Amino acid sequence: MVMLDQTSAVTLAATEAEESARPPRRRVVRWWIYLALLPLAAIVGLFSYYPALSAIFWSFFHWNPASQSIPVGLGNYATMAGDQIWWTSFRNLGYIFVFSVVSWAIPLLAAELLISLRSARWQFVMRTLLIIPMAFPAVVTALVWGFFYSPNDGVINQTLKALGLQALAQNWTGQGSTALLSLLFVGFPFIAGLPFLIFYSSLQNIPTEVLEAAQLDGVGRFARFWQIDLPLMASQVRILVFLVIVGTLQYGLVAQVLTAGGPNNATMVPILRMIDVAFQGGDWGYSAALSTTLFFITLAFGAVVVLVRKADDGTADGGAM
Amino acid sequence: MSTTRTRESRQLSLKAVLIILAVVSLAPYLFMLVTSLKTNQQFADSFWQISLPLHFENYATAWNQIAPYLVNTVIVATLSIVLILAIASVSGFVLARYRFAGKHFIYGAVLVLMMVPSLAKLIPLFILMKDLGLLNTYVVLVIPYTAGGLVLGTILIRNFVEGIPQSLFDAARIDGASGARMYRSLMLPLSLPVLGTIALLIISEVWNDYFWPLLAISNNDLRTVSVGLQFFQGQNFTDYGPLMAGYLLASLPLVVLFTFLSKYFLAGVQGGLPGAH
């Protein structure tokens, strides 16, 4: 959702130019303008800015929400540096990120196949079918996959048994060696999602002249993929990488529903660690420090998205060629 | 002649591969549908096939348990949407159409929040709500959704209103329309598609949000769908038919909205991605 400001910056510049062209007007303080913006400022200030800033503040305390809090300086951050579980959770995030980037191969393939369909009706129907899973609540998807993985009556183990492969049956989410991999496969084949939508719409946006020119030059379908589609998608993909990093940092729902971070922290992720520390451990100051760290990491990657967008803006319209 | 034939057969194989991909994507949901109509015995006998008779009473069983969660979700979503649209449309209009000191500062302060993940304020927000004595109320859910939705809503509406030609507003002003009148009679009717997109995004957010209701609500009577379903799963995990029927019932409203309004959904999901329309 960090994707909006680049367009707004452009429109902003446009209106400013427009405004300065008009004759200057008498400056009157129109108090009702501020009154109109007051509800926005009050809600956003109290429930967005205040909590985010107070997390930074309390991360320097041994925070006791009910009674006296003791300042500990950087103590919480020192604890974090030595927190093995916290670093494990980032290693897991690394796996999750790499896996999701590799898995883009499937949505990319689907988008290429879809764009090659000649019938517009077929394209529409297949696109709709492929993205319907996006409409299901994430919890439902997680719970159904949990049902697939369950050790006794689970669909996967039952299917293996029916095929005479009971030796391969596992306690998929219950053992350290397969738990993380099981979580990663939730949502297979990963087509319904932002990457597919981005691949498909950038393929749709390739100008027909380019494709016609390529056809005249005798460029085949595979050559077209490498020489036209991929280069023209490059800038979108670059943004997608950072959006996925930001999204991965917030990964937690599937892990909470299927394994709650277990077994033995094999599927621990930062969000779950942050919640555990506060709600199970009662260490609110330390949790605030973890929250603050996560916040700044996300902010840094979010800023990269904005900068990449700004840089791309100058070279839009196939400048990547 | 032969080239058209190979082209046609190539189109056919394309369709075949795409259909396989769609079936695999939808398999868990089809499985859910098939299982929701079975008894445990039928499930044990054959878990992928449809088996007769179909047990529609599973849906009645599930509905009795799921309905309160759906009602809570709809109440929370409606309250949030009303608040967000009312406040964001006024703010977006003012930010797009008036010049005043601090305009860029205010808009910038809203834009920055687009980059702040809601999960980063989970812990302090919980303490704040606890201090305010709001835990286990509808308000504790409505407030964060409103705060989050206001950011997106204000930005989307402001950008949209900036795109409306100034000449329309000038004409209205010459006819003697006040600011409030222009907001009501000019800007609101034109902005309906954006307002619809925002409403859809909020519904989907409230329906999907998990961690905040998990922490802020412990009273089962107030739970929304996501957390409610997990509780429901804990109670029915040995009764597969009603369990799957419940999952489906909880998904149905979103799936229906998505199917009929996917254009608006996708516009929202892709935000302002350049060239992604």
Task: Report the complex ipTM.
Answer: 0.88
Q: Is residue B47 situated within a structural domain?
A: no
Q: Which residues contact B43 (CB under 8 A, 6 or more apart)?
A: B35, B240, B241
- DSSP β-bridge partners for residue A71: A61
Per-residue confidence (pLDDT) for residue B158, from 0 to 100: 92
The H or E element that residue A6 is part of is helix A5-21
Closest Cβ opposite residue A132 in set B26, B95, B158:
B26
Q: CA-to-CA distance for A262 and B43, rounded, in angstroms? A: 29
Rounded Cα–Cα distance for residues A251 and A37 (Å): 34
Q: What is the 3-state secondary structure (H, E, C) of chain B?
A: CHHHHHHHHHHHHHHHHHHHHHHHHHHHHHHHHHHCCCCHHHHHHCCCCCCCCCCCHHHHHHHHHHHHHHHHHHHHHHHHHHHHHHHHHHHHHHHHHCCCCCHHHHHHHHHHHCCCCHHHHHHHHHHHHHHCCCCCCCHHHHHHHHHHHHHHHHHHHHHHHHHCCHHHHHHHHHCCCCHHHHHHHHHHHHCHHHHHHHHHHHHHHHHHCCHHHHHHCCCHHHCCHHHHHHHHHHHHCCCHHHHHHHHHHHHHHHHHHHHHCHHHHHHHHCCCCCCCC
CB A137 to CB B250 under 8 A? yes
Q: Which residues of A touch B206 (CB under 8 A)?
A: none
Tokens of B233: 């799963």
Nearest CA in chain A to B48: A155
Collect all residues of chain A within an 8 Å Cβ-Cβ radius of residue B155: 4-5, 8
CATH of the domain at B252: 1.10.3720.10
| Structural domain includes residue B121 | yes
Closest by Cβ to B91, choosing from A7, A36, A137: A36
How far apart are alpha carbons B31 and A21 in whole angstroms?
Answer: 63
Is residue B174 domain-shared with residue B249, that is, in the same domain? yes
Q: Measured between alpha carbons, how far is B263 from A182 in angstroms, rounded to an integer?
A: 33
Contact A47 B144 (CB under 8 A): yes
Sign of CA dihedral B9, B11, B17, B19: negative
CA dihedral A124, A125, A128, A132 (to 10 degrees): 180
* A307 and B CB contact within 8 Å: no
On whether residue B88 sits in a domain, the answer given is yes
Closest listed residue to residue B216, CA positions, set B118, B116, B138 = B138
Please give the helix or strand (H or E) that residue A62 lies within, else none.
strand A61-62
Instruction: Determine which of B119, B173, B223 to mutate to test the interface with A (most A C-beta atoms within 10 Å).
Output: B119
| Residue type present at position A274 | M
- Please count the structural domains in chain B: 2
> Could you say which residues of chain A have pLDDT below 50?
1-21, 315-321
pLDDT of amino acid A282: 85
Q: Chain A residues with CB inside 8 Å of B115's CB?
A: 2, 298-299, 302-303, 306
Cβ separation B152–A1 shorter than 8 A: yes
pLDDT at residue A13, as a whole number: 43
Helix runs in A59-137, H state only: 75-81, 84-102, 105-116, 120-131
Nearest CA in chain B to A129: B22
Beta carbons of B226 and A118 less than 8 Å apart: no
pLDDT (0 to 100) of residue B137? 92
SS3 of chain A: helix, strand, coil, percent, to 5:
70, 0, 30
Optimal mutation site among A2, A48, A301, interface B, most CBs of chain B within 10 A? A48
User: Looking at the structure, do residues B135 and B168 belong to the same domain, yes or no?
Assistant: yes
Is the Cβ–Cβ distance between B45 and B51 less than 8 Å?
Answer: yes
Pair of tokens at residue B146: 């409103």
How far off is chain B from A306, nearest CA to CA, in Å? 10
Residue B125 near residue A16 (C-beta atoms within 8 A): no
Structural domains of chain A ordered from first start: 74-128+194-313 (1.10.3720.10)
- The answer as to whether B45 is a domain residue is no
Question: Which of A4, A277, A317 would best serve as a mutation to test chain B binding (most B beta carbons within 10 A)?
Answer: A4
CB distance B14–A113 less than 8 Å? yes
For residue B155, what are the domain limits? 57-269
Cis upstream peptide for A151 (omega within 30°): no
The whole-angstrom distance between A101's CA and the closest CA on chain B is: 18
Together in a domain, B171 and B221: yes
Q: What is the pLDDT of residue A318?
A: 36
The pLDDT assigned to A38 comes to 92
Decide if A40 and B14 are in contact by the 8 Å CB cutoff. no
User: Which residues in B39-62 are b (16+ Cβ under 10 Å) and which e?
Assistant: beebbeeebeeebeeebeebbebb
Instruction: Take residue A94 and report the two structure tokens written for it.
Output: 């690394």
Angstrom distance (rounded) from CA B277 to CA B270: 8
Do B24 and B70 belong to one domain? no
Distance from CA of A290 to the nearest CA of B (A): 9
B90 and B144 in a common domain: yes
Tokens linked to B215: 């922490």
Does one domain contain both B99 and B6?
A: no
Alpha carbon distance A114, A142 (integer Å): 27
* pLDDT of amino acid B269: 60
Token pair 């603050």 in the structure block, residue? A292
Based on the fold, state whether residues B153 and B71 are members of the same structural domain: yes
Position A8 scores a pLDDT of: 42
The C-alpha atoms of residue B28 and residue B247 are separated, in whole angstroms, by 11
Please calculate the CA angle A181-B120-B142 and round it to the nearest 5 degrees.
105
Residues B217 and B176 in one domain: yes
| pLDDT score, position B24 | 92
Cross-chain Cβ contact B274/A309 below 8 Å: yes
Residue B91 has its nearest CB partner, among A37, A47, A256, at A37
Nearest to B79 by CA among B146, B149, B137: B146
Residue B40 resides in a domain: no
Cβ contact A110–B215 (<8 Å): no
B184 & B220 share domain: yes
Q: Would you call A201 and B276 a contact, using CB atoms and an 8 Å cutoff?
A: yes
Residues of A within 8 A of B258 (CB-CB) are 132, 134-135
CA–CA separation, A156 and B21 (whole Å): 19
Residue B258's identity, in one-letter code, is: F
Residue A61 pairs in a beta bridge with A71
Per the domain annotation, does B50 fall within a domain?
A: no
Query: Could you say which residues of chain B have pLDDT below 50?
Result: 1, 272-277
Q: What separation in angstroms does the CA of B46 have from each of B29, B43, B51, B69?
A: 17, 5, 8, 31
- Contact residues, chain B, for A116 at CB < 8 Å: 14
Hey, what are A170's tokens? 């596992």
Shared domain check, B144 and B12: no
What are the CA-CA distances from residue B116 to residues A298, B2, B111, B216 (Å)? 7, 58, 10, 20
Give residues with Cβ within 8 angstroms of A49, minimum separation 6.
B109, B113
Would you state the pLDDT for residue B76?
Answer: 95
Question: Do residue B121 and residue A33 have CB atoms under 8 angstroms apart?
Answer: no
**B199/B91 same-domain check:** yes
A256: nearest CA in chain B?
Answer: B211
**Measured between CB atoms, which of B11, B159, B276 is closest to A118?**
B11
Contacts of A257 in chain B (CB under 8 A): 210, 230
Report CB contact under 8 Å: B106, A41. Answer: yes
The pLDDT of residue A18 is 46
- Asked if the structure places residue B192 within a domain, the reply is yes
Taking the CA of residue B170 and the nearest CA in chain A, the distance in Å comes to 13
Distance from CA of B40 to the nearest CA of A (A): 11
Contact B215 A275 (CB under 8 A): yes
Cα–Cα distance for residue pair B29/B20, rounded to 1 Å = 15
Q: Residue B25's Cα: distance from chain center in Å?
A: 21
The Cα–Cα gap between B91 and A85 comes to: 44
Whether B113 maps to a domain, the answer reads yes
B148 and B233 both lie in a single domain: yes
Reduce the DSSP state of residue A70 to 3 states and report it.
Answer: strand
8 Å CB contact of B272 and A8: yes
